[in-house]
Amino acid sequence: MQLKTIINSVTNYKPFVVEHIEMLEIESKQTIKVTMRARENGLPTCSGCGERCSGYDTSPTVRRFYFVPLWNIPVVLMYAMRRVNCSSCGVKVERVPWAEGKSPLTTEYQWFLAGWARRMSWKEVSECFCVSWDHVYNSVKQAVSWGLAHRYLEGIKSIGIDEVQWKRGHKYQTVVYQIDEGCKRLLWVGVDRKAKTLLRFFRFLGKERSAELKFVCSDMWQAYLKVIAKKIPQALHVLDRFHIMQKFSKAIDQVRSAEVKQLQADGYEPILTGCRWLLLKRPENRSEKEVLKMQELLQYNLKSLRSTLQKEDFQRFWSYRSAIWAGKFLDAWCTRTMRSKIESMKKIAKMLRRQRVLLLNWFRADGALSSGVVEGFNNKLKLITRKSYGFRTQTGYETALYHTLGNLPEPDFTHKFF
């Protein structure tokens, strides 16, 4: 089988044909040169309106288009571009089926690079295929633009909303994921974590699609709670278990830290030194050595231990199946905690009382909705950022996230690489 036959079988470049193929050196590299020509009596296509028009003239210089390499040998399509005399657009350069605009890469090669950029860092892709980093970035950007324009946004029932830190300091991005059973993907990214940010998402989604939402999962950031209550009141809003227990862990850590300093100031033995993770772990995850240490600490009436026991007691809240009985347990637990004289835990109890209705929605959703998916996406998001050593621009950041987490569609080609 000849190389010409292979190229014809994996491409669809009508009304153009491969005239001849040869191996030669271009810029001190072995290169496969593929000369293209238009079919006889074939009218060129206007790049402005897409209509077939009569020819105007032909460029005296041949333009190069880089195709997918074979055996790591560059493949270059050579073609002298024509201009058309369009009645609507005037004199325009013709449209060719293997490239868009002024890109030196063929469409197939751009999608090829974009596919590898999802599996490796952009720098590694540029080094492996001997192209510039800009070519890889532009390929990914083109793939994301096409995917966003053609993705299907109907039938979304469940979404997860969260914020992630971006750059140093208190700079955040709001991310919205679709967390339906059959489709989990990144839907939207926005700058900051203000109410205005989330309002932009609902304007993007539209009133009709927003009215179809049945479940929404988020943390307790007040700006998010207000916008969700205003824009999608029909949706069951669930405060997830992960975010609630995260608040407990932070409170226990604050109590332990303050108590370590107090013991040191009073001249007592530093028995809590090195016990941070021991107190934060769940009982079933502690080793034998940690269990013995915990039994030793239980001899003392320490606030850190009492806070840990309160947290372990609250874990029973998630084992209920009825929202009514779960609510009774929550009320009793909050009453006991408010009498504990541990300020950090009293703040937790007050927070739980304020968000009582949203907490009990966990049981009304039968525990089926979890932000575990959201946190999993966030971990992937952080990995993307870390692998790229950060992003300088918002556009580059969004492009990388949509490309990896957006589950975007791709056009149909005569040959697929992935």
CA 363 from chain centre, in angstroms, equals 28
Domain ranges for the chain, please list them. Answer: 3-98, 158-240+370-405, 252-364
pLDDT at 415 over 60: yes
Q: How far apart are CA 62 and CA 88, in angstroms?
A: 27
Across the range 339-364, mean pLDDT stands at 91
CA 282 from chain centre, in angstroms, equals 30
Residues 78-102 have pLDDT tens digits of: 999 999 999 888 999 999 999 988 8
Residue 299 has what pLDDT?
85
Percentage of the chain beyond pLDDT 70 is: 98
Residues 39, 16 contacting (CB under 8 angstroms):
yes
pLDDT band at 270 (very low <50, low <70, confident <90, very high): confident
Across the range 322-332, mean pLDDT stands at 93
Residue 369 has what pLDDT?
67
Residue 2 has what pLDDT?
81
Q: Is the CATH number of domain 158-240+370-405 3.30.505.10?
A: no
Residue 380 has what pLDDT?
87
Residues 178-191 have pLDDT tens digits of: 998 888 999 999 99
pLDDT at 367 over 70: no
Q: How far apart are CA 415 and CA 331, in angstroms?
A: 62
Residue 11 has what pLDDT?
87
Across the range 292-302, mean pLDDT stands at 87
pLDDT band at 384 (very low <50, low <70, confident <90, very high): confident
* CA nearest to 92, candidates 43, 60, 38, 44: 44
Across the range 123-142, mean pLDDT stands at 92
Residue 272 has what pLDDT?
85
Percentage of the chain beyond pLDDT 90 is: 50
pLDDT band at 390 (very low <50, low <70, confident <90, very high): low
* CA nearest to 182, candidates 208, 212, 155, 205: 155
pLDDT band at 371 (very low <50, low <70, confident <90, very high): low
pTM: 0.84
- Integer angstrom CA distances of residue 378 from 94, 144, 372, 397: 45, 19, 10, 14
Range with the lowest mean pLDDT among 144-153, 255-264, 352-361, 370-379?
Answer: 370-379
pLDDT band at 224 (very low <50, low <70, confident <90, very high): very high
Q: How far apart are CA 40 and CA 15, in angstroms?
A: 9
Residue 150 has what pLDDT?
94
